[in-house]
Amino acid sequence: SQTIHQWPATLVQPVGSPLSLECTVEGTSNPNLYWYRQAAGRGLQLLFYSVGIGQISSEVPQNLSASRPQDRQFILSSKKLLLSDSGFYLCAWQGAHEKLFFGSGTQLSVL
Amino acid sequence: SQQGEEDPQALSIQEGENATMNCSYKTSINNLQWYRQNSGRGLVHLILIRSNEREKHSGRLRVTLDTSKKSSSLLITASRAADTASYFCATSHNTDKLIFGTGTRLQVFP
């Protein structure tokens, strides 16, 4: 069966520090992968999605970047975090019938 | 930008009552999905309805879709305290993207 791993669960980082969040999927090949961000009590904002290795689509201009170095690995990065980067980050993969399966999320606090 | 808008933003009911949440969207869709999120957790898929379908059932869930009004509703019958969560609609278009709405926070009191 397919599983998705996302880590860390929580992260507190100072402004200006770098960021690397990792997401891996098991049990499927060539999945579509997604990074979403959720502000407190709000909906999900699509940040990046990828349909294959090295193929990244960015949805909004921002301080973040994404990479897909391997088929089932999706990484969210920043060189210098801003206060506005705080939020709940969710990775997801797309299964059959366009359903998304989400990881458990990373709560990022930038101080 | 977000495609869907849920209504109401928050809903409080007693156990046993029905809960109805609505979702409106802006452009044509391939399908519409509903997800549930417990506080601080990832989202879980509940049900998918295709653009050529009008109603779908899954257990205590009933989803309707009106493409002429660009709206959908999620009905949870005989609600339980365990149904307390946020519920989101998400729409799929002619791309690989799934765009989520703003969500409805449901509180079910025992």
User: Which CATH number belongs to the domain containing residue A19 in this structure?
Assistant: 2.60.40.10
Residue A96, helix vs strand vs coil: helix
Task: Please judge whether A43 and B40 are an interchain contact, meaning their C-beta atoms are less than 8 angstroms apart.
Answer: no
Q: Which pLDDT belongs to residue A97? A: 77
Most confident of A5-19, A30-44, A50-64: A5-19
**C-alpha–C-alpha distance, residues B75 and B93, integer Å:** 24
Partners of B31 in the beta sheet? B50, B92
Question: How confident is the model at residue B3, as a pLDDT?
Answer: 61
* Domains of chain B and any CATH numbers: 5-109 (2.60.40.10)
A 51-70: CB under 8 A from B: 51, 59
CA-based nearest residue in chain A for residue B105 = A41
Mean pLDDT of B10-20: 97
The confidence score (pLDDT) of residue B6 equals 85
**Average pLDDT, stretch B37-57?**
95
Counting beta carbons within 10 angstroms of the beta carbon of residue A9, is it exposed (0 to 12), middle (13 to 18) or buried (19 or more)?
exposed
Q: Which of A73-82, A90-99, B76-85 has the lowest mean pLDDT?
A: A90-99
The burial class, CB within 10 Å (0-12 / 13-18 / 19+), for B5 is middle
- What does the pLDDT look like over A22-47, one tens digit per residue? 999 999 888 999 999 998 878 899 99
Q: How far apart are CA A34 and CA B81, in angstroms?
A: 31
Subunit contact B90:A100, Cβ cutoff 8 A: yes
Minimal C-alpha gap between B107 and chain A (Å): 14
How far, in Å, CA of A34 to CA of A75, rounded?
10
Name which of A39-43, A76-80, B5-9 the model is least confident about.
A39-43
- Residue B35 in contact with partner chain A when CB distance is under 8 A: yes
Which has the higher per-residue pLDDT, A28 or A62? A28
Q: How confident is the model at residue A2 (pLDDT cuts 50, 70, 90)?
A: confident
Task: Assess whether pLDDT exceeds 50 at residue B87.
Answer: yes
pLDDT score at A5: 93
CB contact under 8 A, B92 and A98: yes
**Residue B2, pLDDT above cutoff 60:** no
CB contacts of A100 in chain B (<8 Å) are 33, 35, 43, 45, 90, 98
The total number of structural domains in chain A stands at 1
Q: What is the mean pLDDT of residues B65-87?
A: 97
Domain extent at residue A98:
3-110
Tell me how far apart the alpha carbons of residues A48 and A62 are, in angstroms, rounded to a whole number. 11
pLDDT level of residue A20 (50, 70, 90 thresholds): very high
pLDDT of res. B1: 46
